[in-house]
């Protein structure tokens, strides 16, 4: 009979990018939450120590998932023929920061904060899988509401939105003397923190 660790690995492999909630995993494996934590830690350590492993175990929003190791990023990118590590533009980072802290939010509301049209950069973020449309606002035209994705958390190394840097006086600190949004201010702006995360990757 296979070990619980092997069963955990098999379940996460089958689940793919969706991942599986800890609660559901404990039920499937018929183990306690504490035992699941031990199993997950053991598997995570095994994968990290094995030089022949191209996988890693991560946790996002109380979900466990198997992903490719950052060390294999180049060959994976070649397979998908996509430059997933391309640096985000200033506009894209501004929009991503606004969505991260103000979600759910419409494109028009993003435009109002930035003072310019955001449609192009917003679509880039959607294509990159960092944000997604999640429902519509009860307003004329029923505009789409945008939120960050689990991949956003994975991309910047967070486990949940609760780990985002605390930004005080978001409404006041983000604007310059002309009333336009200035998220690249030197006082520790939102997207400076996101950009630093990206650079560290």
Which sequence spans correspond to the domains of the chain? 4-78, 90-200
| Residues 17-55: tens digit of each pLDDT | 678 899 999 999 999 999 999 999 999 999 999 999 999
Lowest mean pLDDT: which of 64-73, 137-146, 161-170, 191-200? 191-200
Q: Give the mean model confidence (pLDDT) for residues 107-125.
A: 87
Rounded distance between C-alpha atoms, residue 51 and residue 120, angstroms:
41
User: Quick one: three-class SS letters along the chain?
Assistant: CCCHHHHHHHHHHHHHHHCEEHHHHHHHHCCCHHHHHHHHHHHHHHHHHCCCCCEEEEEECCEEEEEECHHHHHHHHHHHCCCCCCCCCHHHHHHHHHHHHHCCECHHHHHHHHCCCCHHHHHHHHHCCCEEEEEECCCCCCCEEEEECHHHHHHHCCCCHHHCCCCCCHHHHCECCCCCECCCCCCCCHHHHHHHHHHHC
**Would you say the CATH fold of 90-200 matches that of 4-78?**
yes
Q: Look at the block and give the residue holding tokens 């880039």.
A: 124
| pTM, entire model | 0.55
The span from the first CA to the last CA of the chain, in angstroms, equals 39
Q: Which residues pair with 60 in a beta bridge?
A: 63
Q: What is the pLDDT of residue 121?
A: 87
Give the range among 55-64, 125-134, 163-172, 192-201 with minimum mean pLDDT: 192-201
* 178 has a pLDDT exceeding 50: no
CATH class of the 90-200 domain in this structure: mainly alpha
User: CATH number of 4-78: 3.20.20.70, 1.10.10.10, 3.90.580.10, 1.10.600.10?
Assistant: 1.10.10.10
Q: State the Cα–Cα distance between residues 199 and 86, nearest whole angstrom.
A: 11
Q: In this model, does residue 187 exceed pLDDT 60?
A: no
pLDDT (0 to 100) of residue 195: 56
């Amino acid at each position: 009979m296979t070990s619980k660790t092997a069963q955990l690995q098999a379940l996460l492999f089958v689940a793919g990018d969706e991942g599986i909630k800890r609660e559901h995993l404990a039920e499937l494996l018929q183990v306690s939450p504490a035992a699941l934590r031990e199993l997950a830690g053991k598997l995570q350590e095994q994968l990290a120590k094995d030089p022949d492993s191209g996988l890693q175990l991560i946790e996002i929003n109380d979900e466990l998932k198997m992903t490719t190791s950052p060390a294999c990023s180049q060959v994976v990118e070649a397979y998908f023929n996509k430059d997933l590590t391309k640096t985000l533009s200033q506009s894209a980072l501004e929009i991503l920061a606004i969505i991260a802290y103000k979600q759910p939010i419409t494109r028009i509301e993003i435009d109002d904060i930035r003072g310019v049209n955001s449609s192009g950069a917003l679509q880039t973020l959607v294509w990159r899988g960092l944000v997604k449309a999640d429902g519509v606002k009860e307003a004329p035209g029923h505009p789409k509401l945008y939120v960050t994705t689990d991949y956003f958390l994975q991309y910047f190394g967070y486990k949940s939105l609760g780990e985002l840097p605390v930004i005080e006086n978001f409404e006041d600190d983000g604007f310059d003397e002309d009333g336009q949004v200035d998220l690249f201010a030197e006082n520790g702006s939102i997207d400076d923190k996101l950009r630093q995360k990206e650079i560290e990757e």
